[in-house]
């Protein structure tokens, strides 16, 4: 009876919470060994001031060094591509494009740069694991753009979803699926062809 009671207590005991530092190390190790990846995404943006949400779907591509491409298919087609210091936003339905040849990649949120194996979650954030099992990352230095970041992490260190809350209370959640890693994406996959008759938008402040 005593043995059975001890077994029952052991089974009823809650599992120990994951060590946030260890979770962060798994994430860093996974993406440091990732040369490129491609995944489908579903983005849910919640506007705090308006109490509404917008859901977008598309494909994300990443390649080191410093190449990112978001191809939105819904609700409207749009491509955002970063290749080093060049950023292109192309909106085919409006036939307009925005090009910044001096894009400061260091201004990107750590919610994106970790995909490139850059930065250090442990050095840049105070880390904890929430009741939902997500890795919560709070900037150690005040960041006017980001209040907090949460990462849903798979067993191998892969991030399956990110949730970023900004200073205004807006929440941007991106969920990834069907991830293909180290498939050998070409540099050409990140080039965006803009038609000659497209309207060019001026860069802010330039």
Reading the block at residue 66, the tokens are 């410093």
Where are the chain's structural domains? 18-177
pLDDT per residue as tens, the chain (206 positions): 555 554 454 455 455 678 999 999 999 999 999 999 999 999 999 999 888 999 999 999 999 988 999 999 999 999 999 998 899 999 999 999 999 988 887 667 666 777 887 778 888 899 999 999 999 999 888 877 788 999 999 999 999 999 999 989 999 999 999 999 999 999 999 999 999 999 998 765 55
What CATH number has the domain spanning 18-177?
2.50.20.10
Alpha helices by DSSP H, the chain: 2-12, 20-32, 110-113, 121-124
Residue 20 near residue 107 (C-beta atoms within 8 A): no
Of 190, 147, 191, give the one whose Cα is nearest residue 48: 147
Strand (E) positions, 92-170? 96-100, 125-129, 135-139, 148-153, 159-165
Residues 6+ apart with CB under 8 A from 159: 27, 114, 115, 151, 152, 153, 176
């Amino acid at each position: 009876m005593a043995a059975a009671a001890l077994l029952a207590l052991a089974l009823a005991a809650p599992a120990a919470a994951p060590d946030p530092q260890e979770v962060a190390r798994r994430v860093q190790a996974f993406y440091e060994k990732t040369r490129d990846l491609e995944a489908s995404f579903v983005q849910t943006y919640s506007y705090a001031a308006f109490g509404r949400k917008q859901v977008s779907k598309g494909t994300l591509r990443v390649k080191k060094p410093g190449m990112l491409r978001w191809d939105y298919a819904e609700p409207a087609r749009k491509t955002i591509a970063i290749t080093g210091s060049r950023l292109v936003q192309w909106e085919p339905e409006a036939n307009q494009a925005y090009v910044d040849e001096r894009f400061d990649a260091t201004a990107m949120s750590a919610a994106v740069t970790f995909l490139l194996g850059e930065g250090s979650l442990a050095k840049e954030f105070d880390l904890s694991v929430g009741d939902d099992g997500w890795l919560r990352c709070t900037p150690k230095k005040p960041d006017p753009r980001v209040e907090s970041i949460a990462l849903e992490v798979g067993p191998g260190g892969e991030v399956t979803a990110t949730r970023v809350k900004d200073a205004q209370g807006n929440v941007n959640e991106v969920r990834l699926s069907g991830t293909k890693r180290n498939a050998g994406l070409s540099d050409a996959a990140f080039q965006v062809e803009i038609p000659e008759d497209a309207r060019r938008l001026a860069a802010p402040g330039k």
